[in-house]
A and B are shown apart, each in its own frame.
Chain A
Amino acid sequence: MTSDSSRHRLGLLAVAALSLFGALFARLWFLQIVEGDTAQAEATANTTDTDITPAPRGRILDRNGIVLVDNRESIVVGIDRQEFGDLEKPKQKQLLTRLSSTLSAGRPVEEKVSVADLEKKLDDSRYSKFRPVPVAEDISEEDEIYFSEQASQYPAVVVERTTVRVYPYGSLAAHVLGYVGPLSDGQWKDLKKDNDPKKPYIQADEIGKAGVESYYEKDLRGTPGRQVFRVDRTGKVVGEDKSKRIEPKPGDDLYLAIDAKVQYKAEEALQARLSLSFDGPAGKEAGGLVVLDQSTGQVRAMASYPTYNPADLVGGISCPVWRDLQGLPRDGGDCGDDIKRETKLLKENDDAPVAKLLNRAYQGAYQPASTFKLASAYAALKDGVRTVDSQTMDNGYINICGGDEGPGCEKQNADRTPHGPVTLSPALTVSSDVYFYEVGRDFWAKGTRDRLGETAFQDGVGELGYGEKTGIDLPVESAGQMPTPQGEMELAMALYDKDPAYYDNDKDLAKQAGRWNTGYSADMAIGQKLTVTPLQTANAYAALANGGTLFQPSVLEKITVAGQPDQIHRRYEPKVIRTIDWGPNREAFITGFRGVVDPSSGNAGGTAVSTFQGFPFDAMPLAGKTGTAQTGEFKNGRKKPDNSVFVAFTDGGPSSWVASAMLEYSGSGAGAAAPAVRMVLEPIADGSIARFTIPEGGQIDAEEAADQSGVVGSGSD
């Protein structure tokens, strides 16, 4: 057939065929030439399977080699959430029932795992999405073999051997050590951008979450082992690329500057004195205590209460544990919005829970009260507002503003006790508030302001490190709060802008509220209107005690090759923030602070003399300062109990210590914080600490320790 129409149609067919071939060529060009490079990279990744063996983290030891954090192998049973989700409903139920009975077999009642427990854990959003949810730890090797033999019976169940952190002394130094946990989404995002080429993270990895585990993550983290296998489509291994093999290498050992025995004593003392003196709502007992070596700035002990056992946090934090760490009852709601809601409710009732993860020694900011007089005096002498010999008449009270700056112009000593005429040194010993109210007042006096500027006081005390972070090698440090005239005004304006009703829609009222006045300066001078961390206080006093060096505190002694204490990668090197020139006035400070604790030092009427009665001053010449911080009122109008503050330092003698303590709602400085510090320093002074061994598991019996100490805290301020 050769009709024209048929030819015509065959021609169309040819065009169609040509265009189809053209499409194929175009696509081929796109895939192979335009996008070829991407595909090549993907093809390479396709044929290899990289097996990563996590390496154990380095151990954490105290300065004398006592192991605080170790590793052990644990056989963990987990459920892979994704695989579990792929199962059909009846299969899921069946699996949980079977798993529950297997895990419960032969276990004591309290360790039995019910189906409900398993379901709860699977629903618990606190566990990482990228790791199997751990449902049982430390199962026996027999059980491990059983699970691997019966793998088909247990779909989605993962049994793996992992290295987990162990804490031989329980909660000892928990806040310094911190804990490890699975990478959070945010951390993983950051890491993906900037992954460590030597020790690359994978999404299922654990990372230090707090304390030195976090700060020294790079050192503690081991180098993961890596084996690159060639695999076929089904994932079957066909060979290994030996050239790419990396053996796992444990992380470096971290020797802390902390002395475990002193640490134990510090935690024991803190808890003992809280148990005796705490006067606030039950469950809100809290405090911090830090001990420094004044000659190096190293931390010898850092205690915080309430505390926790990092062992409970191993392998991911379950919801009840997380609630407990927030200070909430373990069983009472989930961990998302419930926690926020409950916390808010509690805050409204003044029963705000005390979070356990906070390290109050350097993350908690409190009014330093009279312990701040060191800084006030330093600023006053430096700026010539006072001389060492300037005398103030202390009648027990003072009107600081001549009546033109509203109410609150009359300020008084504790209990309105008059101290008579005082110069700097006795003013420190007896803790004369009147003396320092006047110092504060004079800093804000028109003449001084014109001469030195509005923030002369803040600048002066700031030289001792107040108002700025000390730079300690621990994460998320608080700098405390140092109010300034400018800052107050900005705050008032910001409040007004946010909600004008707060100031009755009157901007002038807001301005007036934000205006600095003499009272503020006076309050600051006695350590009331600002907050500082116990660590800042300790560091400032260390700079006095050591003659004028303000160190950057550190918890580090050395970092060594795992298991080889002599193979040192890095050793602590003191870092100086600045040098303080005490000049000839240092003696007045020392005498003043010596008098606080030691009646034989020259000044009489020391606020903590009775607390330190019988202290071996010969072996450890000691000086100190009490502080009693007013904390305002509860919502119901009841006055809140005072916070008890105390700081002490050795003045000469064979060792050089500074100890700073803060106990919330525990009364006067001499009554709670001072005895706590004495309980820490006395065993060092009399040498009994050398014979002391830390109880197994780091157990602390606070009340027993309080009874045994025989220290009676008494005195005012």
Chain B
Amino acid sequence: MATTYGSTRSPNRHRVHRPMANFRTNNASPFRHIDLVLVACVIGVSLFGAVMVYSITRGSEPPYDAGYLKRVLVFIVLGTAIMAATALFDYRKLKDFWPFIYGLSIFMLVMVLVPGIGSRTKGTQGWFQLPGFQLQPSELAKLAMIIGFAGLASQFRGDLDNSRVLMLLGVCGAPMFFVMLQPDLGTTLVSVAVAFALLAVVGVRGRILGGLALAAILGSTLVLTSGVLKEYQVARLTTYVRQDDTAVTKIDRESRYNLEQSKIAIGAGGMWGQGLFEGSQTNGEIVPEQRTDFIFSAVGEQLGFVGSGALLALMGTIVWRVWRAAQLARDEFGTLLCTGIMVMLVVQVFENVGMTMGIMPITGIPLPFVSYGGSALLTMFLSMGLVLSVHMRRFS
């Protein structure tokens, strides 16, 4: 029987599963809810970081060295791909997988401590030397801890007795313990802040939180004074408290030097900066560890208050989008994931930028998306992918 109309329109009103069409028409489709602001900010900040790494590593005179720049760009491309893949992945499946991810991360943290398997740089046993790439499991472990916590906590469904709180504490404490053994102070510090925020958001009572804070203070005092840490680590941590005194010991002098030069570099930027590629502190390679931990000093020197302010504003925007995703998430698991990631981001930015300006102790924490370092960058992209995944699926 011939029909006279509507051959372009399917007579079948049931939808055929076609993602692109779905994206356009279905309000409940995850693809309608990609957070483009977040994606743009993340890629923007990463490219900003790539330029800064280039400005630090290209050398002061031609021929310029683009080796680091190329590596960073490769990581950004790779990272973006990972972010996209993670976003496509439904985060809710992690509710079942989290023990594997968490377990794998603990396993890597243990393995990295084994001499011969893990390798040692600047007194920290924290890397796997892979061909062409150094994997730093402590970076991934922060994320694994968040996933583990979110997974476990969402199983409890808000019903927290003391033993459950203890379990949650255990989930947080295990990776911290092994990271501490490396020792990687910076990562531990971030993890403590993240765990604390997660416990608060999940609803642990204030009295317990207060006790934990007290324990953390006592613990860190103990760590600082017990001799677990090497002298230089204590000096780095404490030097910012006495930054205007005269350094007495050699170790003090060296860690003070780092801070002083960084502050000089940032200060020298003034309002508008010395201009891209123009910083004398940067070009003279005067600030140690500048392409990694102290990259913000290069931003400050070359781009001034305006440039570094803009960078912080971009970072703030990312934090805001992650916070928003936490609020909008349709389940507690998503909220906790995003909260953890947000706190991790905030603490890292504050600690890293703060230490370059002398308001936080010096610890080896990279500036998210900006510092040179593959593991950290990929972890950040992975985290953003998770946030996007949570955000996209808030209606589905």
Contact = CB atoms under 8 A, between A and B. Distances in A.
A10 interface: yes
A29 interface: yes
B335 interface: yes
B346 A17 contact: yes
Given A13-B323, A17-B319, A23-B354, A43 B281 contact: yes
A630 interface: no
Say which size band chain A's interface belongs to.
Answer: 35 or more
Interface in A1-57: 1, 3, 5-7, 9-10, 12-14, 16-17, 20-21, 23-25, 27-29, 31-33, 35-40, 42-44, 46-47
Contacts of B300: 28, 31-32
Interface in A214-239: 230-234, 238
A31 B342 CA distance: 27
Interface stretch (B14-22, B64-72, B113-121, B266-274): B266-274
B323 A17 contact: yes
A337 interface: no
Interface in B275-322: 279-281, 283-288, 300-301, 304-305, 308-309, 312, 315-316, 319
A88 interface: no
Nearest to B286: A233
Contact of A39 (B250, B264, B287, B327): B264
Contact of A36 (B269, B312, B319): B269
A12 to B, nearest CB: 8
Contact of A46 (B264, B288, B316, B335): B264
B379 to A, nearest CB: 20
Given A31-B263, A46-B281, A14 B323 contact: yes
A86 interface: yes
Contacts of A5: 203
B316 A40 contact: no
Contacts of B350: 20-21, 23-24
A8 to B, nearest CB: 10
B359 A23 contact: yes
Contacts of A47: 280-281, 283-284, 286
Contacts of A32: 266-267, 269-271, 300, 304-305, 308
B270 A33 contact: yes
A316 B342 CA distance: 65
A23 B357 CA distance: 11
A377 B61 CA distance: 84
Contacts of B332: 1, 6
Contacts of A29: 305
Interface of B: 60-61, 158, 197, 200-201, 203, 250, 261, 263-271, 279-281, 283-288, 300-301, 304-305, 308-309, 312, 315-316, 319, 323, 326-327, 329, 331-332, 335, 339, 342-343, 346, 349-350, 353-354, 357-359
Contacts of B357: 24, 27-28, 31
B60 A17 contact: no
Contacts of A3: 158
28 contacts: A10-B335, A10-B339, A13-B323, A17-B319, A17-B346, A20-B350, A21-B346, A23-B359, A24-B349, A24-B353, A24-B354, A27-B359, A28-B308, A28-B312, A31-B266, A32-B271, A32-B304, A33-B271, A33-B305, A36-B268, A39-B266, A39-B267, A43-B268, A43-B301, A47-B284, A231-B284, A233-B287, A234-B285
Given A5-B203, A36-B270, A40-B267, A46 B339 contact: no
Contact of B284 (A35, A36, A232): A232
A24 B261 CA distance: 18
Interface of A: 1, 3, 5-7, 9-10, 12-14, 16-17, 20-21, 23-25, 27-29, 31-33, 35-40, 42-44, 46-47, 86, 230-234, 238
A234 B285 CA distance: 8
A680 B144 CA distance: 101
A86 B250 contact: yes
A13 B271 contact: no
A10 B201 contact: yes
B225 to A, nearest CB: 25
A232 B269 CA distance: 19
A40 B354 CA distance: 20
B308 to A, nearest CB: 6
Q: Which 5 pairs show the lowest CB-CB distances between chains A and B?
A: A39-B267, A1-B332, A43-B268, A36-B270, A47-B284
A40 B339 contact: no
Nearest to B197: A13
Contacts of A12: 200
Contacts of B265: 39, 43
A44 B268 CA distance: 9
Contacts of A232: 284-286
Contacts of B270: 32-33, 36-37, 40
Contact of A13 (B285, B287, B342): B342
A36 B270 CA distance: 5
A43 B264 contact: yes
A1 B316 contact: no
Nearest to B347: A20
A1 B331 contact: yes
Contacts of B339: 10, 13
Contacts of A39: 263-268
Contacts of B197: 13
Contacts of B287: 233
A25 to B, nearest CB: 7
Given A31-B263, A238-B60, A233 B203 contact: no
